[in-house]
Structure 1
Amino acid sequence: MYLGLDLGTSGIKALLIDDRQNVVGSGHGSLDVSRPHPGWSEQDPANWIEACETAIAELKAFHPKELAAVKGIGLSGQMHGATLLDASDQVLRPCILWNDTRSHVEAAALDADPRFRELTGNIVFPGFTAPKLAWVKNNEPAIFAKVAKVLLPKDYLRLWLTGMHISEMSDSAGTSWLDVGKRRWSAELLAATSLDEKHMPSLVEGTAKAGALRGELASKWGIVAGIPVAGGAGDNAASACGMGTVGAGHAFVSLGTSGVLFAANASYLPNPASAVHTFCHALPDTWHQMGVILSATDSLNWLSEITGKRAGDLTGELGETLKAPTGVTFLPYLSGERTPHNDSAIRGAFTGLAHQSSRAALTQAVLEGVAFAFRDSLDALKTAGTTLTRVTAIGGGSRSRYWLKAIATALQLPVDIPADGDFGAAFGAARLGLIAATGADPLAVCTAPATDATIEPDTGLGGAFADAYQHYRALYPAVRGVTA
């Protein structure tokens, strides 16, 4: 048996698979996000441990024998979070999360230093880790002075699991401190934020062993002490391992809290001007590119809260047949946007509202707005040198066939729906745990699931969607002009 632990923004998932990669069981622990000020987003790392304990306790309650047979553990986690520890590994302040935009001034200052784009292959986004440390130095100098280690969220879980300060390439690529082409920390970039390599965890590949399970936890859970914990991956790279998106040209579209258009690459293809993320993949000597939308299903969840209707009920009102855009347009910039705008200050908007604009019209506009944001990412990937011929849909939002039809038509690409199964980040983490424990060939393990169905672009509505997309694109500079 192999255990995958995925630390998300809203919860932790623990997934058990057997040596044939069949899912045996899962457990879950919930998490909340604190937003003490506009643009802030934080979590207490102690809550990650509590949620992990809850998830594993659920597994132990229903699958005690299978849990006892675990031979390897893999980790996945939300990226970019700044978890600050003192010399005794005590947490100094709540973790500043990936969707926190307070450090936009510091991000712009670091990005103006050409070394950052040259060495990392990326814009320094406000959500990345390095500008958060610059913000702490500028605004909480007493805390900054005590920082002995900076860990990403999943690597704080690793510290609890193993007692080791270790990270891996895919997650570390999102800090703005990694030389992404050479897959190592950059002393030069760390120095630019008044840090050095002593503040960083050591680095391994995602498939490698990165610590061993502590005896105290092993005894509590009924697992053999000392089993390997894999390097693991950032959440999107872990999802790619779960989906088998590891070969050049393979891609997925993820409809989660945030949205991701992910493409695997066999070589390092940076193009920071496109606002595409170019990161190391979890497998050795591979990379990937991503277009990132900060509010994907979060946009629909926002509308759900405003209207008092469940998200599934909102999309259900649209039926199964794709409709032409109504003229109501939604910009999904509820917490700023990354690809292609790199704009933490922009905010969302509805335009084209009229007396006849119903709740269903607003829902349709939200789904289309997110689909058009993915089209922005597709165009940015093309600019960065990656051309896609089809994508596979994952994430909670992919349960809506209507939404997938809108995405296929907006992208003008077939969207594959995988056969029933759990192929997300926790599954990818479990696969990495299997590889680290057994030494198996990563490409033989990280295969793609069977395709259950394919949604083709609606040719009859292609022109209407193309026109609506051009209108969507014209709105960003207009809205920015009145909100900047």
Structure 2
Amino acid sequence: MLLGLDLGTGSVKALLMEEGGTVAGVGSAACTVCSPLPGRAESDPEEWWRAAGAACREALRGRGDEVVALGLSGQMHGVVLTGGDGAPLRPAILWADARSAGVLEAYRRLPQNLRRTLANPPAAGMAGPTLLWLREYEPAAYAAARWALQPKDWLRMRLTGEALSEPSDASATLLYDLAADRWSREVVRELGLREELLPPLLPSDAVCGELLPGAARHLGLPEGLPVVCGGADTACAMLGTGLLAEGEVQLTVGTGAQVVSPRRGFVPDPSLRTHLYRAVLPGRRYAMAAVQNAGLALEWVREVLGVSWETLYAEAAAVPPGSCGVVFLPYVSGERTPHLDPAARGAWAGLGLGCGRGHLLRAALEGVAFAVREALEALEGAGIRAPEELRLAGGGSLGEDWRRLLAGVLGRPLLILPDSVASVASARGAALLAGLALGRYRGPEELPVPRPEGVVEPGGEAGRYEEAYRRFRELYPRLRGL
């Protein structure tokens, strides 16, 4: 058995998988995202640790002695400042955090040759800008830190005692040379950051340590179990769903949403509206358009309006496409693709006396879908020709009504992966990396690839979204700066 552990934004998921790809157990435990001040997003790493134990025990159900290796996946961009023993010095700062927007000018002042090697636009919430903010505004914590770790790398240190990272997560820090495939010491020095904060890098499919006795008891696994480096959640999800061929495009919907496509070479987006990161397999990269507010915005709407998910979908379905003119901007935590605006804010517009809660809910779903469509169009603008059919994955992609709405807004058929894959794609990729590390698979061609089990067609509603999409696109530039 292989075990994949995925440290997400809102939960930790564990997947127990047979080497042939059959799911043997799934576990999940919630995590809290705190916003102590507007524009901030933090989590307590100790809560991640508790959730990891609960998720693993639920997935294993006493079968821990059958596991031969553990692989890791995790949310991207965040920073966990730790001492030499791995103990956090402050709460983790997450990808949705916008506090570093004021220090991005340091990146714009970098020499052009260095900026090109980063291959990505400066964005708040990424590790490099977050470290600049910590150096300026929390100098004591910054000076006391021994390591600046990505979330899943902190979890691995708790499991093995080793401080390490790997290329797929490191490439999304704005401190990584995508052309040379290594930490960019030149950028780190130019920014005046401490080089020693960055951990050593190993391949994503390398065994990087053994499970410590206390960690083994916490997770319900045998002491000394091999732990594999793992990868960033998006990169692991691509492996877990079998998205390996250049030219394929996959939409993953979770707390955020990502439109991704494998790339073989170093091909940055000249407009810098989209991203280029390392994949978990050696020498491979992928392009990504990142929507920061997908499930994050819908969960906010659900809580503010006081409805369950069932009520949200039911009331939204009773409203026609276009929400009778109501438009929702989902930017409750700023936005990345295509705006790269950490100060972007959410809004409902077009309200009238005839509007009810259902119109607000329908507009919220459509607003997130419109943001995904903008991201897809930005990816195509970077030179990636999306195929007629898109693959759909992610824990936020399981509702039938939501799938039909997405297909209608995107105007494309969506290939639906089995729920047992789509909801735990990142954990599945982490488990497959564990199998590669132990030689259970001799290469990617031997990995068990899930097959789509159905297609959601755009249907007759697709054309009814065009006018609503036009209004959506016009609203952000009109409200920007307010």
Determine what percentage of the aligned residue pairs are the same residue: 36
Residue of structure 2 aligned with 1:378, choices 356, 376, 383: 376
Provide the residue aligned with 2:256 in structure 1: 258
**Contact 1:431 1:445 (8 Å CA) reproduced:** no
Following superposition, the deviation at residue 220 of structure 1 comes to: 6.1
Q: Secondary structure at the match of 1:470?
A: helix
Provide the residue aligned with 1:86 in structure 2: 83
**Contact 2:15 2:427 (8 Å CA) reproduced:** yes
Q: Secondary structure at the match of 1:167?
A: coil
Distance 1:192 1:147 in 2: 20
Q: Secondary structure at the match of 1:246?
A: coil
Distance 2:327 2:447 in 1: 39
**Contact 2:56 2:220 (8 Å CA) reproduced:** no
User: CA 1:311–1:59 in 2, change beyond 3 Å: closer, same or farther?
Assistant: closer
* Counterparts of residues 331-410 of structure 1 (less than 5 Å): 331-389=329-387, 390-410=389-409
Following superposition, the deviation at residue 324 of structure 1 comes to: 4.8
**Contact 1:320 1:402 (8 Å CA) reproduced:** no
Following superposition, the deviation at residue 212 of structure 1 comes to: 2.3
Provide the residue aligned with 1:303 in structure 2: 301
* Counterparts of residues 72-471 of structure 1 (less than 5 Å): 72-113=69-110, 114-115=112-113, 117-218=115-216, 223-271=221-269, 273-319=271-317, 323-389=321-387, 390-423=389-422, 424-438=425-439, 440-458=441-459, 460-471=460-471
Following superposition, the deviation at residue 222 of structure 1 comes to: 5.9
User: CA 1:413–1:193 in 2, change beyond 3 Å: closer, same or farther?
Assistant: same
User: CA 1:261–1:357 in 2, change beyond 3 Å: closer, same or farther?
Assistant: same
Q: List, as ranges, runs of 4+ consecutive aligned residues in structure 1 with deviation greater than 6 Å.
A: none
Distance 1:433 1:470 in 2: 46
Per-residue CA shift, 1:201-255, capped at 9, x if unaligned? Answer: 1112212222222244346656444332222111111111111112212222122
Following superposition, the deviation at residue 124 of structure 1 comes to: 1.4
Following superposition, the deviation at residue 378 of structure 1 comes to: 1.1
| CA-based RMSD | 2.1
Following superposition, the deviation at residue 181 of structure 1 comes to: 2.3
Following superposition, the deviation at residue 321 of structure 1 comes to: 10
Following superposition, the deviation at residue 320 of structure 1 comes to: 9.0
Distance 2:185 2:440 in 1: 32
Q: Secondary structure at the match of 1:90?
A: coil
Return the letter of the residue paired with 2:453: D
Q: Secondary structure at the match of 2:415?
A: strand
**Contact 2:82 2:148 (8 Å CA) reproduced:** yes
Return the letter of the residue paired with 2:29: G
Indicate yes or no: 2:25 matched with 1:36: no
Return the letter of the residue paired with 1:449: P
Return the letter of the residue paired with 2:38: P
Identify the range of structure 1 (337-346 vs 161-170) with the bigger mean alpha-carbon deviation. 161-170
Return the letter of the residue paired with 1:427: R
Following superposition, the deviation at residue 325 of structure 1 comes to: 4.9
Identify the range of structure 1 (51-60 vs 9-18) with the bigger mean alpha-carbon deviation. 51-60
Identify the range of structure 1 (20-29 vs 5-14) with the bigger mean alpha-carbon deviation. 20-29
Distance 1:85 1:268 in 2: 33
Following superposition, the deviation at residue 115 of structure 1 comes to: 4.8
Distance 1:222 1:308 in 2: 37
Following superposition, the deviation at residue 105 of structure 1 comes to: 0.9
Per-residue CA shift, 1:176-203, capped at 9, x if unaligned? Answer: 0111122100111111333354321111
Provide the residue aligned with 1:14 in structure 2: 14
Return the letter of the residue paired with 1:92: L
Following superposition, the deviation at residue 447 of structure 1 comes to: 4.8
Distance 2:147 2:108 in 1: 23
Aligned length: 478
User: CA 1:409–1:30 in 2, change beyond 3 Å: closer, same or farther?
Assistant: closer
Query: What 5-or-longer segments of structure 1 have no aligned partner?
Result: none
**Contact 2:19 2:440 (8 Å CA) reproduced:** no
**Contact 2:319 2:359 (8 Å CA) reproduced:** no
Q: What's the TM-score once normalised by structure 1's chain length? A: 0.93
Identify the range of structure 1 (161-170 vs 206-215) with the bigger mean alpha-carbon deviation. 206-215
Distance 1:399 1:419 in 2: 10
**Contact 1:80 1:97 (8 Å CA) reproduced:** yes
Query: What 5-or-longer segments of structure 2 have no aligned partner?
Result: none
**Contact 1:325 1:464 (8 Å CA) reproduced:** no
Distance 2:91 2:270 in 1: 30
Return the letter of the residue paired with 1:34: C
